[in-house]
Amino acid sequence: MIIRHQYNSASPYESCGYERSPAYPAAGQPVRIHFRAEELCGPFCGAWQLAWAVNGAARPPLRQAEPEGLDDEGRAYFSFLLPALPSFSRVEYRIQASNGVCSDLFEYTVLDPVVLERPAALRQAGQELRLYFSARQGGYCWAWRLNELGASHTLAPCGAPGPSDALPGPASLAAGPYTLSPAPGGGALELWREDRRLLRAPTRLELLVTAEGCVWQARLTLELAGEHLYGTGERYTSPDQAGRQVVFSSFERFTFQGQRSYLPIPLFYTERDVGVLHGGGEEFTAEFESGCEALVRARLEYQCTPGTPAFSDRILLGPPPAILRQYQALTGPALEPPDWAFGPWVSSNRWETAAAVQEQLQQLDRHHIPATVFVLERWSDDTLFDRFEAARHPVFPGSHCFSGGELDFSHNPRWPDPHALCQTLSARGLHLILWQAPILRMPPSGEYPQAQQDMEYAIQQRYCVMLPTGQPFRCPEGWFKGSLLLDFTNPEAVAWWQQKRAYLLKEYHACGFKTDSGELVTDDRALFFGGATGRQLRNTYPLHYEAAYRQLLEKEQVRGVNFTRAGYSGAQKYAIHWTGDQCSCFSEYRAQLAACLSAGLSGVLFMGFDLAGFAGRLPTLELYCRSVSLAAFSALMQFHSEPTQGANNDRSPWNMARCMHAPWLNAYFRHYADLRMQLMPYLAAEAHFCAQNARPLMAHLVLDWPGDPAAQACHTQYMLGRSLLVAPVLEEGALGRTVYLPAGRWLGAFDGAPYSPGLHRLPCGEGELLAFVKAGSPGEALLRFLRGAGWERGC
């Protein structure tokens, strides 16, 4: 039997059933210790107790665990309730079963709530305003800086201010057209551009602090001029998060993500030339209140790491395009994908044999459908993801890194000659992308001596993420339950991992990797190389993961690409992205577009989606056709599908045509795939411009018309590059839509008809979308092949 318990919930959105609540209690808060009993041979009929101590003194054990039910797998949940205690009380506890099984030893120190409201002193030092606050555990300095590019602010513990720190008169900072000064009457700092207030920061801070005075959590409010709130990363609800609560936590949610996100970005800004870039990697929350005051009130709750500044934010100034350029300048240059990445991609999780791959190649030939990328997911040994499945070889020490010549496939009916297969793909102009996960595990059979060697070596060398107990962290839930997680912050672990994959690039001609499942840091106790914890790296772990694969491509001089779904601030440096796992329904289709546009507004420049969805029943013909046309006019065009038992759920056009009794569907898909191939030179040229100028390839209209109220609120259209305006039909059963054309002259992409700016109610047949070319732009040349290229058959 295993007793499962950890400090934090594995999900920031709901209870996982075995966390401590609250995870980090403050004075006056009782604490609920939730836990789960796992791997029972039968029902556990014994008793539980909680052994606990306060400040080293044992307390009477708690013997009345409250049952909290069973989950779908028959695992039992229980809890104990510990009383509220004074600040700085140190509590240790262990869960014990009457059969002798016990949990790890857990602990917490009760945090002290501190409210900082009135600065004890104010000091101006050059281009810095310092607000000093006094508290029971010491002083705090909230420092604000200003220059012509923007502002920043940092809160950190400090000594108590002396009399010389106080200023007799008002203090203010000035830089170019900007001024930063205390508000009239006090109580806040205000940032102005000439006669327009951009930001107001009330000088009230609510902290939870340790006995040493270090800040564990900070709450503050920033009021931003504007009505719309952009950024925050990939969001499936809307590109405008005004009026919503946002959790900045990289989190895996299978379908119907709602407000959850694989790819949060700690950047948010308004249409009124002001934004915030949060500098920490810890999970945090923001509530963006909006009303009739023409401002967005951001109520922020930051998690902080003791020993560092409590928080550090940049205030970015300028219209939305300038804010994205500043963001990229601060976080790193964007990766520019190779030209071939803009052709059609083919993918499915069901293709798990060489014969299945050859069948897809035959279907591409039979239906004359072009493609430039072939994604292979079910190819590997499913343990370390560095060898094709069922390769024969001697059992080597875990330090060994294979070459292709050491692997024997002559016995293997599934993959009889992977090297030749990869050469075939390359010769056809198909660029091979191989699926990866950041884990090590045994296969379900438990019979793989090489995997055992690799895992033992990783544990021995501490190449995997560890726990304070000295044991390795293991994924607690889901498909990867029980797996080790590679520590990509450890340079030696990264080098070992890369060397095990180098031959795939050199000998098998792989052109990149699909780096999936970067969201697996779910336990705050997890320990990384250098001492960082899971609480600190929950959001930034995906960046270390993706950076390792980017570095591998560069080491092997492969002009390739990595394809991923998770990330955080700076994600644009390492990979291109997709929206993760969605179901095949119209609501998810709309969510994919919202995710692409919101990610673009957050500095993620190249994001695609699984057309017509990844999961569930096959899409309807209407949804499939709408989604194919949208994908052809998006950053990436890819079909993909989840593995299922029995039914073939590939979203390939030939499988859809067979299952839906619609043989014309292959010609339909070919039509848009051919258009995609013709668009490739335009897309590649625009991608180069985008990477250089921090512009998303799928750009929300606010980036080109930031002063246009209609463009600010238009969330279902976008610019594909600088010349094409795309307006997909997003409602089921609709045969048209209202389109907003901003200032400028416009031509219908498929008929060349002129359009004036403003609202237009236009018809759109099934299987089509509406697109417009900006007259006088370089993209007007697209009309040579787009005119007359509409699909005529209908679905």
| Triad 247, 248, 250: Cα angle to 5° | 110
More confident residue, 357 or 163: 357
The pLDDT confidence band at residue 794, using thresholds 50, 70 and 90, is very low
The pLDDT confidence band at residue 313, using thresholds 50, 70 and 90, is very high
Task: With both helix axes pointing from N to C terminus, report the angle between 621-632 and 665-693 in degrees, rounded to the nearest 10.
Answer: 40
The pLDDT confidence band at residue 61, using thresholds 50, 70 and 90, is very high
Q: Which residues pair with 771 in a beta bridge?
A: 726
CB atoms within 10 A of CB 546: 27
pLDDT of residue 399 exceeding 50, the answer is yes
For residue 162, what pLDDT is reported? Answer: 53
For residue 164, what pLDDT is reported? Answer: 47
pLDDT tens-digit profile of 456-489? 999 999 999 999 999 999 999 888 999 999 999 9
Omega within 30 of 0 (cis) for the link into 706: no
- Give me the mean pLDDT over the 298-304 stretch: 97
For residue 165, what pLDDT is reported? Answer: 47
Q: Which tokens belong to 552?
A: 């591998």
- Give me the mean pLDDT over the 41-51 stretch: 80
Q: How far apart are CA 231 and CA 603, in angstroms?
A: 8
Cα 258 to the chain's mean position, in Å? 14
Q: How far apart are CA 318 and CA 328, in angstroms?
A: 14
Task: With both helix axes pointing from N to C terminus, report the angle between 418-427 and 354-366 in degrees, rounded to the nearest 10.
Answer: 20
Q: Which tokens belong to 795?
A: 């679905």
- Give me the mean pLDDT over the 135-150 stretch: 92
For residue 256, what pLDDT is reported? Answer: 96
For residue 43, what pLDDT is reported? Answer: 62
Is 754 exposed, middle or buried (CB count within 10 Å of its CB: 0-12, 13-18, 19+)? exposed
The pLDDT confidence band at residue 40, using thresholds 50, 70 and 90, is low
Q: How far apart are CA 124 and CA 440, in angstroms?
A: 54
Q: How far apart are CA 571 and CA 331, in angstroms?
A: 9
Q: Which residues in 35-64 are b (16+ Cβ under 10 Å) and which e?
A: bbbbeeeeebeeebbbbbebeeeeeeebee
The pLDDT confidence band at residue 214, using thresholds 50, 70 and 90, is very high
Q: How far apart are CA 129 and CA 171, in angstroms?
A: 8
Strand order of the sheet with strand 576-578?
607-608, 576-578, 561-564, 510-515, 431-436, 373-376, 344-348, 637-639
Report whether 328 contacts 334 (CB < 8 A): yes
pLDDT of residue 73 exceeding 90, the answer is no
Strand order of the sheet with strand 230-233?
121-124, 128-135, 138-147, 150-158, 311-317, 274-278, 264-269, 230-233
**Lowest-confidence region among 43-57, 325-339, 695-709, 757-771:** 43-57
- Nearest CA to 348 out of 676, 650, 768 is that of 650
pLDDT of residue 227 exceeding 70, the answer is yes
Q: Which tokens belong to 617?
A: 């029943």
pLDDT tens-digit profile of 563-619? 999 999 999 999 999 999 999 999 999 999 999 999 999 999 999 999 999 999 999
pLDDT tens-digit profile of 683-705? 999 999 999 999 999 999 999 99
pLDDT of residue 303 exceeding 60, the answer is yes
pLDDT of residue 169 exceeding 60, the answer is no
Query: pTM for the complete prediction?
Result: 0.96
**Lowest-confidence region among 26-35, 110-119, 381-390, 710-719:** 381-390
pLDDT > 90: what percent of the chain?
89
- Give me the mean pLDDT over the 46-64 stretch: 95
DSSP 538: T
